[in-house]
Structure 1
Amino acid sequence: MTNNSNPEEYVTLSFKLMDWSHMDFKRTLNTSTSIVTIKDIINHHHGSISSIVICKHSFEEKNELRHAYATLKDYGIRGSETWS
């Protein structure tokens, strides 16, 4: 059940792997999804990858999402109330 004052928000993420563009994919997730869960999704989709670095917008150190248990919402990623 959803609290009307804090509706769930969804966002479609584009996963773009460095140097592996043929393995890019998209996934719609709740903005309450943690970074560690996103890493698990990537590993499930591609098999075990030993070192995953997640960045927002572009692959640069300043854009790294480093805190494993922070959520997309914690990183300022906003979504919509409808699943797209």
Structure 2
Amino acid sequence: MVNPYVEWFEGLRAEYGEQLKQMPLPDGLPEHLRDLMAKGDEEAILFMLKLAWQLGAQVGYSAGQQQSGAGQPSRKVSSVQA
């Protein structure tokens, strides 16, 4: 049985891999990740992934709200007459 996440991830890597190779990471992060992997600290790595996933989801949701106009104040038309 094929893991749908693996297919999705590999598709993203094929589409954006070269572009993201050029993206710098904060100083020390790659080294820290290598140290965590060498220690086998799966809990810390999963925490990093969950945090990145959550932040990405929040940014995506916010962008979607702005594109749909939901982030703009609504103009209510009053039905009260004098």
Fold agreement, TM-score > 0.5? no
- Larger helix percent: 2
Highest RCO, 1 vs 2 (Cα 8 Å, sep ≥ 6): 1
Instruction: Give the TM-score, by structure 2 length.
Output: 0.21
